[in-house]
Amino acid sequence: MNCSFSRSRFRWIRKLCSLVCAVAGCCTLPQAHAQEIDKPLQTIDEEITAFAYAPDGRIVYAVRRLMKTKRYDLQRDDISLQGLDGKRRRIVSGEKLVRGNAPFSYTVNSFRWSPDGHFILAELFTTAVTDAEGTTRDEKMTLLLDESGKEIRIAGADSVIPGGFNAWWLTDNTTVVYLTEALKPNLLFSFNSVRPVAGRGGALFAGRTFLDAAAIPRTNAGVAVERDRALSGPPRLQRLEMIRETDAELATLDSYSGGIQVSPGGSKVAYYLDHEVLEIRDLTAPDRLTRLRVGFGDFQWTPDEKRILLKRAPEKKSGDLVWIDVPPLAAAQKSSDGTSVAVLEPVPRSILFGLSFRDFAISPDGRFLAIVPPGKRNLAIYPLPR
């Protein structure tokens, strides 16, 4: 028997349930679930700070590396690549990735692959010493690499985009679109682009500001949440064509709280309205949607777009993994009092023993699940639990 409280969206209730059930023996897990966590297909026994699947199933990952100087303790992550044959090789040595003469420390936040799987964007969080007194400056930046680890230098500049984050490659595998801060502190952002070989680029949608954005796979478009600089109007969901700099408004949102992701087929977009409700909207018929009360967390679509795997914790924080079924989308239905759109409460289905994980990713073919537990933070790969 499985305790209904173990499926609660509230973490403290789930923990209390686990304790009571362990003492009283009032619920059990099926044998198959126990096997899910016992025997990974592969492990990478390193302290992983970030990783990402390539389109063909290879994995790029960052490994935490600490080093000491006379005055400072520094972190400069190594970057490695696991091939389809399981062989691994380091492609970037953090010790050699130096910017200027001042002490420089960084950790890798995330990776993005180009559509053809030959190029990588590594988003870094950096800390640099700026003067003799030891004053430091924190900054996000994006490092451009090819699959061998060779830095891609932007003509007339460096191989990094200072201040650039949430970057992605367009379908030409050459142009990079990215966000920069437009209103401090991290309230609004603006779009920019660069073509490293030519060194050309600049502002996109000049004068406009956005809360968040996500790429639409296999296109040169993205979905963004626009907000005016005065933060006075409602957030508006926009489809943006990056090459032509044209847009189409999809919807005016009641609110926006983060997490925007487009489904693998590019037909749906999901995002949080608040810290409880996830809204899923049809990109081809934007008046068709659903709202799900699932609790805030980090999520990923399955390739068939029928389910979402939700980590019930923010990005880079530990939480359990649960399946959420995506219901059919339909024209908005008002709630019983007629004042707002009805919110469904799906039953989450826990996987991997209900244990907590810091990071996860579903392979592009939908066959495997890679997870990073808290603590040691090694990476383990399992068949994707059903």
| DSSP character string of 205-255 | STT--EEEEEE-TTSSEEEEEE--TTS-SPPEEEEEETTTTEEEEEEE-S-
pLDDT band per the 50, 70, 90 thresholds, residue 33:
very low
Q: What is the mean pLDDT of residues 23-43?
A: 56
| pLDDT digits 0-9 by tens, 53-99 | 999 999 999 999 999 888 888 999 999 999 999 999 999 999 988 77
The contacts of residue 337 (CB under 8 Å, 6+ apart) are none
The contacts of residue 17 (CB under 8 Å, 6+ apart) are 3, 5, 6, 8, 27
Q: 301 with 277: CB under 8 angstroms? A: no
Q: 385 with 366: CB under 8 angstroms? A: no
The closest of 275, 341, 351, 273 to 308, measured between CA atoms, is: 351
| pLDDT digits 0-9 by tens, 274-287 | 999 999 999 999 99
Phi and psi angles of residue 257, each rounded to the nearest 5 degrees, phi first: -125, 5
pLDDT surpasses 90 at 102: no
Domain 116-383, architecture per CATH: 7 Propeller (2.130)
In the numeric block, the tokens 């968040």 are attached to: 212
Give, for 349, the enclosing helix (H) or strand (E). Answer: strand 349-350
Dmax of the chain from CA atoms? 68
Give, for 78, the enclosing helix (H) or strand (E). Answer: strand 78-82
Whole-structure pTM value: 0.88
- Quick one: how far is CA 70 from the chain centroid? 36
pLDDT surpasses 80 at 226: yes
**Distance between CA atoms of 38 and 160, rounded to whole angstroms?**
41
The contacts of residue 54 (CB under 8 Å, 6+ apart) are 60, 113, 117, 147, 364
pLDDT band per the 50, 70, 90 thresholds, residue 211:
very high
Work out whether the CA dihedral 284, 287, 292, 298 comes out positive or negative.
positive
